[in-house]
Structure 1
Amino acid sequence: MFADENRNVRPAEIQEDVSREDIVSAFRQAMVGHFRSHIPGTNINESTLLASDYLNHFHELVMLLEALSSEPQGFTDDLLSWRPLTYEEHFSQSGFRDKNLAIAAYRRAPPKIRARFDEAVARLHGEALTLVASVGAALMDRDKDLDKTCNKAAAQLRVLIEEANAIANGEIASERGDSDIGGQAAIDALFGNR
C-alpha cells in the first residue's frame, strides 16, 4: 500500500523553488530548536546557546593568581604551565555533564553573538598570557610587590571574564555601540580605578 502511494508522487510536485539560503536558514532554525529543547536543566543559555561554564577556565587562573600572592612556592609551576583553552578544548577535557551538547550548541550559536563572545575570549586569552608572563617575570625578579602585581592581574581578568559572561548569558546587546559599559570597565581596571 505504501509503495502505491509513493508511485503517485512525482518529483516535480516535491521540488519547489527554494533557494539554498532558505534551506540553510530552515535547517539552522530546526537545529537551534532541537538544541533548545535539550537545554532546560543545563548551564547552556537558551538564547545564546553558550555555556558560561567555559569561563571557569579563566576563574581558575584568577584563583591561581590570588593563591600565588600568598604562597609563591606552592603555585608558581601551576601558573607558569597555565595555557588558554578554546571553548571546545575546555569542554572536551572537562567533566561537564552536557559537554557534547555544549560543544554542538556553541557551533550553532547565533553568529553575531558567537562572534562577540569569541572576540571577548580572544581578549581574555591575550590578556591572560600577558599577565602570566608579567607575573612570571615578577617571580623571577623576586618582586617585593608580588601581592600587588597578582591582585592587579586578577582584577584585570575579572573585568574581561564579566564581559564574556554577560555575552554568554545574553545580558549585552548583540550590536556594538548598544552598550560600551564593559569596555569602560576594562579601561578602569587597567588603571586601577575599579
Structure 2
Amino acid sequence: MFADKKPDPRHMANPEDVSREDIVAAFRSAMIGHFRSHVPGTNINEATLIASDYLNHFHELVMLLEAIGSEPKEFADDLLSWRPLTYEEHFSGSGFRDKNLAIAAYRRAPQRIRARFDEAVARLHGEALTLVGEVAAQLGKGNGRLAKICERAAQRLRVLIEEANAIANGETLPERADSEAAGDVGGQAAIDALFGNR
C-alpha cells in the first residue's frame, strides 16, 4: 500500500541517497508549514517568505500626504516626524503578534527575491524622504500648490508600493536593466514620465 509513496528525505535511513535539492525542498516545506501554523491571517507569502504587511508603513505616509493636502495644520507634525523604517524595525516596533516569526521568515527569504524587495524598499525610502522634504518646504506658504504637490507625491509612492508589493507576493516583474538596478536615472525617468517632471 505504501510502496509507491516517495520517502520523506527527513526520515530516510541513508542520508547519502538524498539529494541536496530534496533536503532544501523538505526544509522549505517544513518552514512554510511552521510559519503558516504560527502566523494565521498574516500576509507572509509562502514562496517569498516576505510579509506585505511591511508596506503599511508606506501606505500610512500616502494617507498622511492625502490628509495634508486638505488639512495641513492638522497633520503637518505627523508628516514631519515620519521616518523610514527597515523591515525588521517595522515589525520589531509593532504590536504584530508573531513579529519574531515574520522577521525570521524574511531572513530566510530566497536571496534573489529578497534582494529585489530590498532594492524596491530602498527606492521607496529615498523617494519618500524626497517627497516629504518637498511637501515640508511648501507648508505654511499658503500659495495653493500644497494640495497638488501632495497629490503627485501620493501617486508616485503608490507606484513604488505596488512594485514592492508585487515582489513580496511573488508576482513576476520584468527584469530591470543594470543601470536601473544601480539606482541610475533610468528607473526614475520612467516614473517621472508617468507623472510629469517635479
- The TM-score, its normalising length taken from structure 2, stands at 0.75
Partner in structure 1 of residue 95 of structure 2? 95
Aligned counterparts of 1:172 and 1:140: Cα–Cα separation in 2:
43
Q: For residue 53 of structure 2, what is the amino acid of its counterpart?
A: D
1:112 — aligned with what? 112
Counterpart in 1 of 2:86?
86
| Runs of at least 5 residues in structure 2 that lack an aligned partner in the other structure | 1-13, 181-186
- Alpha-carbon distance, 1:97 to partner: 2.6
CA contact (8 A) 1:35 1:101 kept: no
Change (3 A) 1:15 1:106: closer
CA RMSD of aligned residues (A): 2.6
Q: Which residue of 2 aligns with 1:39?
A: 35
* Cα distance in 1 for residues equivalent to 2:174 and 2:32: 19
C-alpha separation in 1, matches of 2:173 and 2:137 = 38
For 2:194 and 2:142, how far apart are their aligned partners in 1? 24
2:191 pairs with 1:186: yes
**1:170 alignment counterpart:** 170
Q: Is the 8 A contact 1:159 1:185 kept in 2?
A: no
Q: Aligned pairs, how many?
A: 168
189 and 93 in structure 1: CA distance in 2 versus 1, 3 angstrom threshold:
farther
**SS of equivalent residue, structure 1 residue 105:** helix
8 Å contact kept, 1:32–1:108: no
Residue type at the aligned position of 1:81: S
| Structure 2 residue 149 is matched with structure 1 residue 153 | no
Moved over 6 A (4+): none
The higher radius of gyration belongs to: 1
Amino acid aligned to 2:89: E
Task: Identify the residue that residue 10 of structure 2 maps to in structure 1.
Answer: none
Q: Which residue pairs with 1:3 in the alignment?
A: none
* Residue in 2 that maps onto 1:75: 75
1:100 Cα shift?
1.3
Deviations 1:18-52 (A, max 9, x none): xxxx6xx8876555333210333331000110000
Pairwise CA distance, 1:95:
1.8
Equivalent residue letter for 2:28? V
2:58 partner letter? F
Equivalent residue number for residue 8 of structure 2: none
Cα distance in 1 for partners of 2:135, 2:95 equals 29
For residue 109 of structure 1, give the secondary structure of its aligned residue in structure 2: coil
Aligned to 2:58: 58
